[in-house]
Amino acid sequence: MRVKQFAVVAAMMAAGAMPAQVRYEDILKGPSGNWLTYAGDYAGQRHSPLKQITTANANQMTAKWVHHVENAKRLECVPLVYDGIMYVTDSNLVIALDARTGRKIWQYKAEQVKRQDINRGVALLGDRVYFATSDAHLVALDRKTGGLLWSKPYADTKKGYFATVAPFAAKNLIVVGVSGGDSGMRGFVAAYKADSGEEAWRIYTIPARGEPGSESWGDLTLDWGGGGTWLSGTYDPALNSLFWTTGNPWPDFYGGDRKGDNLYSDSLLSLDVDTGKMKWYFQFTPNDVWDWDAQAWPVLIDMPVNGKMRKVVLHANRNGFFYVLDRVTGEYLRATPYVEKLSWAKGIDAKGRPILIPGQEPTPGGKVACPSVRGASNWMSPSYSPATGLLYVPTLEQCDVYTSSSKHPEPMKGFAGTGAESVPSEPGKFYMRALDPKTGAKKWDYPMTGDASSWAGTVSTAGGVLFFGDDDGQMVALDSKDGRHLWHFNTGQRLTASPITYEVAGKQYVAIATATDVMAFGLFEPAPSVPLVKERIED
């Protein structure tokens, strides 16, 4: 009976029960058995309709397979899954795996790249896999074979750029961003035609001299202002708007050479996906001196605000405030603190600007301020469950000692205007925090043991289960309604990536990249005895 079942599944897969290509329309539908884009869907909710694993049976979960990535030290990719194949990345490396067994099907290595930076994953579109090398080449691979189609440089490492971004695919475009803002560069977002790799548009996050916003910088810092674009984006197809976050102004910890708001650093940008034209921007931390990149995930939901349904974007920012913006206009609607350790601002005013508390800026001797340089949250993915109406945010309660230097900044020399370190007597603590977007209130909290070194995100499911990696290297399942513990598994490794969930051949899996491996979990089933199959070698 079991054999027959397997044969049917194999026949279905072989017969092409799935369309041969990852179509834009498929990504638009959001997650199903597949996980086709970084956050599962364009709205960035990381919520799956799968419900084989439920609050009632999650306690029967077990590891299904582990794929070791050779030479890996710190995997940060979000695996994508299509038609039974999983695509994962490391630095300059893409691997396609059988998503049921973790066995490798192909791998592509960009051998000639001199840099080795972390990588956050691939984009899928058509019959291609897209990813960015550490030295900022956009690479297109044949999805079935891993064969190289083209590799095009989109940013120059000699100008301070590198890349960690998971490319973003929509329509016939692949959108990428750049890293390097901690050492001076000029951030941009760029879109490339998916077929040819030809550049469709590029928008800089730091204005050129004379452009609006350029007055919010100093002379040198305008050319090297940072505003990195290293996290992938979310997208509203009805508005044709792409939502992309920008990083810190440079130098990170000293604002004296860049008096002004430093547009468009630490901002959320709404871009026309076809042209890259900026529709609006919202800056969270003007003249930031704490390195609070806005690279937290913009989550798109529709919800009532003052009795009227609004299309909003949720953003749990590094600076400790949880923002709600109108995503059509960029209008500021509300911000509420979501951490207790928050010392730099009393609140956010009616226009969305922080009400600063004086004396919180870094000093040459060091000033304790909160949140920490890693932020109240960071790029690790939150998730939103339409069933509970809650946003699940990996949250860090921590302060840091921030130091600054007025030394003349030299770009591309690793100078950030100095930095931040933890307060030894006050270790940070991670929480899985459920926030109610309608009020900004905390609904429940799940404290984690650990040394505050986690960079792991979340995925939520229609089975009512919230999965995430905790601060002790454990995969954890909670009841998304109330944060009740359901299951955990010690991966034995630090977790620095966000989990996904997918289905192959009628079975739901949850997968996460650990430091050196990719692991998949599912419900326990007694293993069938597999008879040895006769193998012969013939001429």
Partner 1 sequence: MAMVLLAGGFLLPAQDNEKKEEDLKNPHEGKAEAVEAGRKQFLNSCSGCHGPNAEGGRGPRLLKSGVVRGSSNRQLFTLIKDGVKGSDMPPTKAPDEKIWEMVSFVKNLNAPAYEANASGNAESGGKLFHGKAGCAGCHAIAGKGGVIGPDLTNAGMSRSYANLRESLLQPSERPSEGYLGVTVTLRDGKKISGIAKNNTNYSIQVMDRQSKLYLLNKLEVSEIVFKKSSLMPEDFGKRLSKAEIDDVLAYVSRQVERVPVPGGEAGAKEQ
Point out the residues that are catalytic: 291
Decide if residue 526 touches partner 1 (CB under 8 A).
Answer: no
What is the rounded distance in angstroms from the CA atom of residue 74 to the CA atom of residue 77?
A: 9
Q: Among residue numbers 226 through 265, which ones bind partner 1 (CB under 8 A)?
A: 228, 230, 247
Least Å from the CB of residue 403 to partner 1: 19
Secondary element (H or E) of residue 222: helix 219-223
Task: Using the rule CB under 8 A, give the single segment among 177-185, 234-242, 384-392, 516-524 that binds partner 1.
Answer: 177-185
Q: Find residue 430's DSSP bridge partners.
A: 396
Question: Which tokens hold the place of 304?
Answer: 């009532």
Least Å from the CB of residue 106 to partner 1: 7
Task: Using the rule CB under 8 A, give the single segment among 13-21, 253-261, 360-368, 399-407 that binds partner 1.
Answer: 13-21
Determine contact, residues 448/470, Cβ cutoff 8 Å: yes
As a residue count, the chain comes to 539
What is the rounded distance in angstroms from the CA atom of residue 342 to the CA atom of residue 357?
A: 10
Among 23, 51, 115, 346, binds partner 1 (CB under 8 A): 115
Cβ-based nearer residue to partner 1, 130 or 444: 130
Angstrom distances, CA of residue 498 to CA of 75, 80, 467, 536: 10, 11, 9, 43
Whole-number CA gyration radius for the chain? 23
Decide if residue 157 touches partner 1 (CB under 8 A).
Answer: yes
Decide if residue 148 touches partner 1 (CB under 8 A).
Answer: yes
Among 358, 365, 526, 528, binds partner 1 (CB under 8 A): 528
Decide if residue 101 touches partner 1 (CB under 8 A).
Answer: yes
Among 238, 309, 355, 533, binds partner 1 (CB under 8 A): 533
Cβ-based nearer residue to partner 1, 182 or 471: 182
Cα 49 to chain centroid distance, Å, stands at 20
Decide if residue 117 touches partner 1 (CB under 8 A).
Answer: yes
Cβ within 8 Å of residue 36, ≥6 positions away: 22, 26, 27, 80, 81, 82, 124
What is the rounded distance in angstroms from the CA atom of residue 116 to the CA atom of residue 162?
A: 10
Residue count at the site for partner 1 (CB under 8 A)?
62
Indicate the residue type of 433.
R
Decide if residue 539 touches partner 1 (CB under 8 A).
Answer: yes
Decide if residue 147 touches partner 1 (CB under 8 A).
Answer: yes
Indicate the residue type of 371.
P
What is the rounded distance in angstroms from the CA atom of residue 418 to the CA atom of residue 213?
A: 25
Among 149, 220, 278, 368, binds partner 1 (CB under 8 A): 149
In the complex, the residues that contact partner 1 under the rule CB under 8 A are 2-3, 6-7, 10-11, 13-14, 16, 84-85, 91, 98, 100-101, 103-106, 110-112, 114-118, 134-135, 137, 142, 144-151, 157-158, 162, 164, 179-183, 228, 230, 247, 528, 530-539
